[in-house]
Amino acid sequence: MAENLYRNPEPVPPASQLAVLPFLAAVDGYLLENGNVPGLRITMHRAVNREGDGYLQQVCAYLAETGVDGRGKVGRFFPVDDRIIGASYGNGQVWRTKHYPDLDALHAELRDAEKGDLHALPSSYLAIPFLGPQKQVVLILYADCHQLNFFADDERVNRIVAMSRGLCRLFDSLQKEPFPALRNFPLQKGEPITGKGGVYPVQEALPKIQPPSFSEVFSFNYEAAVA
């Protein structure tokens, strides 16, 4: 089932996509402040219920060097234990790639977990969960790039988390006083569907960084509504 959903994405409401893309564009601008970051991609996932089953679903296309990229990947479903986003979903913490002295050291630790051309893989990953009022994961910001140790910088991660808290405050206020023709229609929690799992050994949790959290938003499903 999960494999079929991955290959056959299901639509995400345009309003939900537009709700997160400007924020991701701001994160992208911050990350590129000091120049080009090779292979940088940023997107957002949400926790969804499909026929009673719980998955993570890609909310929008990637923001990449070429602009908005990978529209065909919008709506893909992932098991809730899928790699770094699954690890972030599982314990509600920020996850990233550890610091390595060089690329060879990173690849040496990856060889047992990943087959194929390791140079084709990103060398830095980041996953930031957005928690709901009951500490459930509502959204997960995902980013990767080919610059070694890019997300191993605590200050960089803390700034993205601070920006994410601002997004939480915005949507909490919109939950109380929504736009006339826009609503966040609730999603019920599904029974979590797991897959092969497999967070790479090069990734680490950051329990000292408090993830962003909503006080009013339990799920993320913005759609146009009758005024």
Predicted pLDDT of residue 225: 81
Q: Quick count: other Cβ atoms within 10 Å of Cβ 110?
A: 16
Angle between helices 14-31 and 154-176 (to 10 degrees): 150
In the chain, count H helices and then E strands: 5, 12
- The predicted model gives 199-216 an average pLDDT of 96
Determine the structural domain holding residue 39 and report its residue range.
2-224
The number of distinct structural domains making up the chain is 1
Q: Are 44 and 112 in contact (CB under 8 A)?
A: no
Contact between 127 and 144 (Cβ < 8 Å):
no
| CATH number of the domain enclosing 163 | 3.30.450.40
121 burial type by CB count under 10 A (0-12 exposed, 13-18 middle, 19+ buried): middle
pTM for the full predicted model: 0.94
Average pLDDT over residues 93-106: 97
pLDDT in tens, 29-79: 999 998 899 999 999 999 999 999 999 999 999 998 877 876 678 999 999
